[in-house]
């Protein structure tokens, strides 16, 4: 019996490793050719798989490591060596993957069954039990907050008996400070590539079309082993965690990480487990080394959002991938692909993606998605862009975040869009200070592009949005504008769109 592990199943602590005769790992070049991924993403996944293979062998496991064009070719070779073998795999998270992989294995002469995936806290059955106890049509109950409280109670994380530690369930309002002018975040850890990583990186450069040429990206620095990922976790809780809470939503020019943990790729690959990072955060709180708004803010992301997204995606597919309730169809502006724009906010965020395959949550949501949303970009194309550009991107996580949360292409995750004008970015960052556009102006040459796009977006989608939760205040401002203001806003929005299309914004 063989345990077949994908590149997202690299948990060296899993019990099921001991229940099998050998481990099968397949590097498929066709998989990596499906889309032009960021070179750091391909290097990370393949280097992590090779290091995982070596680690397993060092620990006495038999590993059948196959490098092939397709999974099918590798399975043929595997079944030639082990005819009629039974394979087991942790449940993959991508929609339809279980059926596809089971069919593929059967076509090549074997049998595939699934075990729970340790990179998630809840099994599908456990989440469905919670969700089915809710009315999924009722926006108050089938939402993150209800799920998150359920998870806190169920796991006992950050609980003081029956009450939330610190007295509140959610310290979101204490996650919105901006740092003083002279503040600099501690340097995040850098993991120097070893020989295997360097070899993979050169192979990726030679073999694949990528999101950016590796010369345009920063030097590779991501953790590729469990030890390095544990070091990354330690570096986060020791140096950046205390300020993570207050500055969680802030953006500073030239700072690509702020105080974010940079752990998503390690968790998504199985190098770190969600509960161990949560427990580590909790211990830091217990010894008084981080305030409650940092600890709760972090726990909410991993215990709440990450699990919620994974299961809402599972339950909403396949419709979610093609959802487009606002009927948005514009092509993404070329600036997303080239990084060339005078808008400081967009230039910073796209630059971070191009250099590192990473941008932190607020840049993802309130710059990259927000601009695409008010501009009218096709949610499917935006999802594809995120999938190509980020080191931590996988279908199960980009689709709900980009299509659901960022594009409001479905209302399954939120009752209102995350749309804002430049004033939000001005409040949460220092970007506007150096930007050639004027955040204080909505219309005319030189006005912040976000502003006219935002107001015309609200007007265009009024029928869908006016009645939805918490949009009342925004529509009272819409109602205050007279015909002349609308004419100027429409003219500026059209000019901005044309400049964006031409790549001159």
Sheet holding 86-90, edge to edge: 63-68, 22-28, 2-5, 86-90, 111-115
3-state secondary structure at position 320: helix
Q: Which of 481, 487, 480, 473 is nearest to 443 (CA)?
A: 487
432 binds, among ligand FAD, ligand SF4, none (CB under 5 to 8 A by kind): ligand SF4
- Cα 83 from Cα 304, distance rounded (Å): 43
Output the smallest distance, CB 365 to ligand FAD, in A: 4
Output the smallest distance, CB 446 to ligand SF4, in A: 10
Output the smallest distance, CB 302 to ligand FAD, in A: 5
Output the smallest distance, CB 297 to ligand FAD, in A: 8
Strand 111-115 with 86-90, pairing:
parallel
Using the rule CB under 6 A, is 94 a contact of ligand FAD? no
CA quadruple 114, 118, 124, 128: dihedral, nearest 10: 160
Nearer to ligand FAD, 261 or 316 (CB): 261
User: What mask, x for binding ligand FAD by CB under 6 A, covers residues 194 to 213?
Assistant: --------------------
Nearer to ligand FAD, 42 or 112 (CB): 42
4 binds, among ligand FAD, ligand SF4, none (CB under 5 to 8 A by kind): none
121 binds, among ligand FAD, ligand SF4, none (CB under 5 to 8 A by kind): none
**In the window 417-456, what residues touch ligand FAD (CB under 6 A)?**
none
Q: Which of 350, 407, 405, 344 is nearest to 374 (CA)?
A: 407
437 binds, among ligand FAD, ligand SF4, none (CB under 5 to 8 A by kind): ligand SF4
Nearer to ligand SF4, 323 or 343 (CB): 343
**In the window 106-165, what residues touch ligand FAD (CB under 6 A)?**
none
Apex 300 CA angle, 295 and 303, nearest 5: 110
**In the window 257-296, what residues touch ligand FAD (CB under 6 A)?**
260-264, 267-268
Nearer to ligand FAD, 229 or 261 (CB): 261
Looking at the chain, the number of H-run helices and the number of E-run strands are: 25, 7
Q: Which of 500, 295, 305, 262 is nearest to 392 (CA)?
A: 262
Per CB under 6 A, the list member of 56, 75, 105, 302 interacting with ligand FAD is: 302
Nearer to ligand FAD, 88 or 369 (CB): 369
In order, the DSSP letters of 337-349 are: HH---S-HHHHHH
Query: Of 150-158, 286-294, 360-368, 450-458, which part binds ligand FAD (CB under 6 A)?
Result: 360-368
Tokens of 128: 């469905």
Nearer to ligand FAD, 150 or 361 (CB): 361
422 binds, among ligand FAD, ligand SF4, none (CB under 5 to 8 A by kind): ligand SF4
> What is the CB-side half-sphere exposure of residue 410 using CA atoms within 13 A?
20
Per CB under 6 A, the list member of 305, 385, 437, 457 interacting with ligand FAD is: 305
Interface residue list for ligand SF4 (CB under 6 A):
343-345, 422, 425-426, 431-432, 435, 437, 439, 448-450
Output the smallest distance, CB 177 to ligand SF4, in A: 19
**In the window 364-383, what residues touch ligand FAD (CB under 6 A)?**
364-365, 369
Q: Which of 376, 372, 304, 375 is nearest to 386 (CA)?
A: 372
- Cα 452 from Cα 374, distance rounded (Å): 9
Q: Between the CA of residue 416 and those of 135, 329, 357, 410, 496, what are the distances in Å?
A: 19, 19, 28, 10, 24
Could you give the residue ranges of the DSSP H alpha helices within 114-270? 124-132, 144-155, 195-207, 226-235, 241-244, 264-269
Give the nearest residue (CB) to ligand SF4: 435
Output the smallest distance, CB 348 to ligand SF4, in A: 8
Beta bridge partners of 68: 28
**In the window 385-424, what residues touch ligand FAD (CB under 6 A)?**
386, 390, 392-393, 397-398, 401-402, 405-406
Contact between 360 and 260 under an 8 Å Cβ cutoff? The reply is yes
Please give the residue ranges that form the binding site for ligand FAD (CB under 6 A).
Answer: 260-264, 267-268, 298, 301-302, 305-306, 309, 360-361, 364-365, 369, 386, 390, 392-393, 397-398, 401-402, 405-406
């Amino acid at each position: 019996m063989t345990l077949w592990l994908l590149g997202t199943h690299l948990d060296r602590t899993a019990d099921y490793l001991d229940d099998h005769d050998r481990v099968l790992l397949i590097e498929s070049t066709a998989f990596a050719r499906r889309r032009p991924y960021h070179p750091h993403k391909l290097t990370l996944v393949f280097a992590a798989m090779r290091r995982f293979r070596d680690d397993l062998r060092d620990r006495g496991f038999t590993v059948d490591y196959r490098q092939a064009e397709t999974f099918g070719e590798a399975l043929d070779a595997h079944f030639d060596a082990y005819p009629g073998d039974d394979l087991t795999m942790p449940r993959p998270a991508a929609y339809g993957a279980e059926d596809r992989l089971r069919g593929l294995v059967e076509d090549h002469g074997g049998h595939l069954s699934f075990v729970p995936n340790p990179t998630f806290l809840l099994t599908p059955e456990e989440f469905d039990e919670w969700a089915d106890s809710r009315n999924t049509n009722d926006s108050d109950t089938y939402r993150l907050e209800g799920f998150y409280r359920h998870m806190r109670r169920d796991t006992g994380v950050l609980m003081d008996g029956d009450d939330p530690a610190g007295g509140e369930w959610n310290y979101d309002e204490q996650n919105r400070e901006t740092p003083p002018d002279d503040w600099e975040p501690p340097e995040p850890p850098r993991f120097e590539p070893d020989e295997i990583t360097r070899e993979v990186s050169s192979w990726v450069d030679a073999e694949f079309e990528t999101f950016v040429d590796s010369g345009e990206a920063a030097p590779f620095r991501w953790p590729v082993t469990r030890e390095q990922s544990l070091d990354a976790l330690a570096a986060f809780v020791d140096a950046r965690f205390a300020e993570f809470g207050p500055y969680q939503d802030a953006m500073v020019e030239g700072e690509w990480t702020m105080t974010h943990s940079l752990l998503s790729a390690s968790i998504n690959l199985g190098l770190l487990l969600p509960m161990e990072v949560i427990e580590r955060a909790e211990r830091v709180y217990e010894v008084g080394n981080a305030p409650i708004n940092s600890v709760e803010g972090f726990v909410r992301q991993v215990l709440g959002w990450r699990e919620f997204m994974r299961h809402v995606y599972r339950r909403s597919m396949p419709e979610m991938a093609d959802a487009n309730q606002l009927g948005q169809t514009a092509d993404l502006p070329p600036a997303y692909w080239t990084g060339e724009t005078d808008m400081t906010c967009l230039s910073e965020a796209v630059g971070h993606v191009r250099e590192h395959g990473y941008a932190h949550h607020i840049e993802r949501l309130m710059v990259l998605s927000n601009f695409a949303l008010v501009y009218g970009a096709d949610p499917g194309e935006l999802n594809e862009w995120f999938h190509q550009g980020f080191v931590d991107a996988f279908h199960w996580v980009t689709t709900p975040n980009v299509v659901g949360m960022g594009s409001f292409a479905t209302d399954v995750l939120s009752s209102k869009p995350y749309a804002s004008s430049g004033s939000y970015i001005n409040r949460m960052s220092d970007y506007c200070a150096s930007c050639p556009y004027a955040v204080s102006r909505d219309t005319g040459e030189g006005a912040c592009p976000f502003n006219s796009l935002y107001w015309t977006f609200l007007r265009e989608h009024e029928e869908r949005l006016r009645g939805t939760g918490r949009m009342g205040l925004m529509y009272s401002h819409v109602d205050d504008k007279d015909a002349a203001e609308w004419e100027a806003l429409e003219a500026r929005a059209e000019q901005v769109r044309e400049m964006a299309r031409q790549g001159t914004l």
